[in-house]
């Protein structure tokens, strides 16, 4: 047989064999078993180069990543999930079981210093100052007018008896600026008192009581009931802004530095662990991984064959060798 004919025959046989292999679950099972046998005891640090991985991720964040390019896909997925969640009867109690809530509460109760700082920051916010000042003013005004407190002052009662109650209102109007000025000057002291009162009230026992009461109230509620209140148009707007912010933040030196540090820390942490140990720690057996993935891989290959995608790819893979001078020399040597 001529060398060219033999090469073509070998190429065609190899293509057919490889295409059939990729559609057989047994092939993927054997391949994964072989990989496990070779890699199971090798520390992951020897299989991954942290520097190269960090460089790839950094380049991806800087040049390739674009959430805006997938904005429509993200929107479609979000709307589909949102619609499904609106129809789901799951309750908050099912999503966060009581034992998990208790574990979170136990950890939260240990954050007393952080709790006191949060109270201090909240009470010193300008908006809170204005709100408390306005509440105090309204309370004082209502007390003086509606409870007839001014009528008890000397000289005022006689005016009211004469039917001139409007004079009281005018007197109160004249006091408005003075009251407001006084409250604004002394609001810091008032808020400090409020802060001390809150810290005294927010004992661990009180927080436990409030938290457990709140959990029991919301546990029977359904997230679906609240999701239905959000206008659908809002979702698209939020995703649009989220993608824009995501693209910009991904390119920040700050983000890239933190991602790089995180990747290196992950690799360093895993570097001493073999694959087998890692899977065992994750409570995943190799047999289970094989059972889940091998049928999916084989089915995926069959689908690619049906779509006419796999065969051209296989041909491209084998062509490099069968079209090479090295292959021709081997065949010619055998023929001679």
- Dump pLDDT digits (tens) for 57-85: 888 888 777 888 889 999 999 999 999 99
- Are the C-beta atoms of residues 263 and 49 closer than 8 Å to each other? no
> Would the pLDDT of 122 be above 60?
yes
> Would the pLDDT of 27 be above 90?
yes
What is the C-alpha to C-alpha distance for residues 96 and 327, in angstroms, rounded to an integer? 63
Give the orientation angle of helix 325-335 with respect to helix 3-22, to 10 degrees.
120
Mean pLDDT of 252-264: 90
What is the C-alpha to C-alpha distance for residues 3 and 328, in angstroms, rounded to an integer? 7
> Would the pLDDT of 280 be above 70?
yes
- The end-to-end CA distance of the chain, in Å, is 11
Give the orientation angle of helix 204-218 with respect to helix 98-108, to 10 degrees.
150
Residue 243 or residue 149, greater confidence: 243
- Are the C-beta atoms of residues 335 and 1 closer than 8 Å to each other? yes
- Are the C-beta atoms of residues 149 and 91 closer than 8 Å to each other? no
What is the C-alpha to C-alpha distance for residues 243 and 68, in angstroms, rounded to an integer? 5
Mean pLDDT of 256-277: 87
What is the C-alpha to C-alpha distance for residues 175 and 162, in angstroms, rounded to an integer? 22
What is the C-alpha to C-alpha distance for residues 56 and 60, in angstroms, rounded to an integer? 6
What is the C-alpha to C-alpha distance for residues 269 and 43, in angstroms, rounded to an integer? 11
Provide CB contacts within 8 A for 198, sequence distance 6+: 119, 123
Average pLDDT, the chain: 85
Provide CB contacts within 8 A for 260, sequence distance 6+: 54, 57, 58
Banded pLDDT at 273 (limits 50, 70, 90): confident
Banded pLDDT at 303 (limits 50, 70, 90): very high
**What is the sign, positive or negative, of the torsion defined by CA atoms of 271, 272, 275, 277?**
negative
> Would the pLDDT of 288 be above 90?
no
> Would the pLDDT of 172 be above 60?
no
Q: Which two tokens stand for residue 172?
A: 């109160």
Banded pLDDT at 294 (limits 50, 70, 90): very high
């Amino acid at each position: 047989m001529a060398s060219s004919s033999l090469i073509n025959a070998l190429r065609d046989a190899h293509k057919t064999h490889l295409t059939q292999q990729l559609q057989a679950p047994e092939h993927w099972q054997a391949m994964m078993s072989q990989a496990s046998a070779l890699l199971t005891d090798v520390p992951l640090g020897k299989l991954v180069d942290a520097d190269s991985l960090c460089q790839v991720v950094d380049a991806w964040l800087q040049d390739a990543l674009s959430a805006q390019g997938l904005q429509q896909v993200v929107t479609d997925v979000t709307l589909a999930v949102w619609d499904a969640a609106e129809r789901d009867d799951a309750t908050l109690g099912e999503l966060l079981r009581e034992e998990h809530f208790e574990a979170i509460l136990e950890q939260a109760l240990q954050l007393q210093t952080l709790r006191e700082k949060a109270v201090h920051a909240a009470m010193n916010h300008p908006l809170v100052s204005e709100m408390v000042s306005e509440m105090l003013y309204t309370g004082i005004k209502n007390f003086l007018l509606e409870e007839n407190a001014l009528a008890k002052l000397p000289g005022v009662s006689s005016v009211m008896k004469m039917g001139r109650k409007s004079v009281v209102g005018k007197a109160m109007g004249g006091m408005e600026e003075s009251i407001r000025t006084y409250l604004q000057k002394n609001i810091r002291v008032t808020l400090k008192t409020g802060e001390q009162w809150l810290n005294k009230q927010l004992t661990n026992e009180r927080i436990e009581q409030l938290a457990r009461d709140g959990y029991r109230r919301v546990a029977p509620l359904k997230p679906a009931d609240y999701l239905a209140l959000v206008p659908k148009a809002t979702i698209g707007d939020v995703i649009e802004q989220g993608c824009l912010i995501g693209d910009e933040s991904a390119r920040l030196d700050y983000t890239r530095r933190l991602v790089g540090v995180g990747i290196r820390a992950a690799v360093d942490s895993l570097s001493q662990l073999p694959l087998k140990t890692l899977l065992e720690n994750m409570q995943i057996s190799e047999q289970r991984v094989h059972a889940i993935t091998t049928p999916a891989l084989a089915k995926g290959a069959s689908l690619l064959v049906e779509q006419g995608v796999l065969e051209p790819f296989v041909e491209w893979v084998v062509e490099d060798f069968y079209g090479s001078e090295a292959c021709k020399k081997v065949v010619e040597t055998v023929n001679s």
